[in-house]
Chain A
Amino acid sequence: MTDMLSGLRRFFTPPVFDDLRKTERVRMLYGIAIGTAILVTGVDVISSVFAPSLAVRLMVIAVAYDLASLALIFAGRRGWVNQASLAWLLVVWLIATATAWTGGGLNAPAISLQFIIVVLAGLLLGRRATLIAAVTAAFVMLGMGYAQVVGVLPAAAVRPAMFRAVTLAGYIAVLAVLSTIATRAAERLRARLDHELREREAQRRLQEKEMAIRQAYSDVIEAVTGGRLLLLLPDEIEKALGGAIEGERTIAAGGLGEAIEWLQGTLLSEFPQLTDPARLVDAAGEALANAVKHAGGGTYQLYRKEGVAQVRVSDHGPGIEFTGLSKAAFVPGYSTAGTLGHGFDVMLDRCDRVLLATQPGMTLLVLEVRTG
């Protein structure tokens, strides 16, 4: 007995899918199927009290509707939301139209179901379905009216007043249920949006704080190095570059020797006025070795700006953390990669200026030496 009850509970509990939108739609679908099935069955049972001659007919309608709703729940469980919704709407429309047709056409209480079907179509399938359902309902009503005028409607038993009252009250209850389902869905959406907005706001504040900390670090490092080490943003560094000498070159493990040789030769030929090109080669060599060590490789390029030779080295490694940066810059021998760690202090010693932009996923370095 307990197993059966828990099985039933599981069956009637909406499933959760990875797709949030699908989960929400299935939840709505379950609410509509279960809520309207209960109401339709209840209304039909109560109505049959006031019109015993119609009891069999009402039970057939209730059973047909309940079976259609169970099928909808079953299909929704499997994630066939659109297909199940469309099939169920068609079945409900057929039941409603047949009931009205055989119940007196436009005089039958069941004709009001056409309005409810329009609302159901919108909730389950969206705006386009609402439009189609509305046009269909209009045609059904016109058709019924015409049929009534030409006298082709089947004869229908007279519905007692209480029967009509209970049926119409039931339809109002269905509309109330649908409205509640729609409102709850809207509230959930609003709550989700509020949550997302709050998260975004928190994220924005965090980013602002990080920027402020970064700026403070940048100011301190600039002050301590006498303006020789500048922490900048990538586009600020790009703006500080002069004209490129040859194209960008790639560096990877095994290619450091070739890169050093190229730098030695090119600096000699392009900057004959450089008093000690070995200083810039030393600094660039350390930057290139860092790119290989920490990022598996990167790119480098030579630039000429008025009175300055620039070497640009970039990689897509993990970046230098600010705490690591201050140590890397000012503590001789500090390294996170198990080597001597002389890289940064060599760069600062050999160059007139070092421009650095670093963040997770990117490090961009420009080494500057005055040529005149």
Chain B
Amino acid sequence: MFNASLTKDEKFNAHVLELSGIFTLDEKRRVDRLVMDAVCNDCAGLVIDFTKLTYIDSAGLMSVLGAFHKFSATDRPVVLATGRNTYVQDKLAEIGLGRGSAIQVVDSVEVAKRALSPSARDGDSGDD
């Protein structure tokens, strides 16, 4: 039903938080803990993979916003990978996290990881 996993890509020094299935209030605490693990770890930033997510409610969206704020406080970016998941794109846009907003939203996880690198942050947006 729902799965959340946090992995580290050593090449890009990036944490990837993959969310799949149905993300509800029930899962919020678990996801927040994973975000905290990522924050406390030395990494360039966080990629949140929404490509396999089929449902997210307002509590889930709050987790996403929370992740953004926590990483911003340490001057590190968060990049959202939504793929062709228009459902998630629309939900993120409702809370001001669509394309063109303060958080980068890209099509794939690979693009998101590249976007975390310092050179990408300085110049290249990394969107496909």
Contacts and interface: CB of A to CB of B under 8 A. Distances in A.
22 contacts: A256-B22, A256-B25, A256-B26, A257-B1, A257-B21, A257-B22, A257-B26, A260-B24, A264-B54, A264-B55, A278-B87, A282-B55, A285-B24, A285-B57, A289-B25, A289-B58, A339-B62, A340-B59, A342-B94, A342-B95, A343-B58, A346-B94
A260 B58 contact: no
A260 B59 contact: no
Contacts of B59: 289, 339-340
B46 to A, nearest CB: 19
A292 B29 CA distance: 14
Contacts of A261: 1, 22
B1 A292 contact: no
Contacts of B26: 253-257, 292
Looking at chain A's contact residues, the main secondary structure is helix
A342 B21 contact: no
B58 A339 contact: yes
A260 B22 contact: yes
Interface residues of B, number: 19
A60 to B, nearest CB: 86
Interface in A321-344: 339-343
A257 B28 CA distance: 12
A368 interface: no
A341 B55 contact: no
A340 B22 contact: no
Interface of B: 1-2, 21-22, 24-27, 54-55, 57-59, 61-62, 65, 87, 94-95
A328 to B, nearest CB: 12
Contact of A286 (B2, B58, B62): B58
Interface string A254-290: 1111101100100000000000001001100110010
A256 B87 contact: no
Given A258-B1, A261-B22, A293-B25, A341 B58 contact: yes
B24 A340 contact: no
A257 to B, nearest CB: 4
B24 A289 contact: yes
Interface string A67-81: 000000000000000
A260 B22 CA distance: 8
B84 to A, nearest CB: 15
A359 B84 CA distance: 43
Nearest to B54: A264
Contacts of B25: 256, 289, 292-293, 339
A342 B56 CA distance: 12
Interface string A291-308: 011000000000000000
A342 B58 contact: yes
Contacts of B27: 257
Most A CB contacts (10 A, CB to CB) among B1, B55, B65 go to: B55
Contacts of B1: 257-258, 261
A255 B24 CA distance: 10
Nearest to A281: B55
Given A285-B24, A341-B58, 16 more contacts: A256-B25, A256-B57, A257-B22, A257-B24, A260-B24, A278-B87, A282-B57, A285-B55, A289-B25, A289-B57, A340-B58, A340-B95, A342-B61, A342-B94, A342-B95, A343-B58
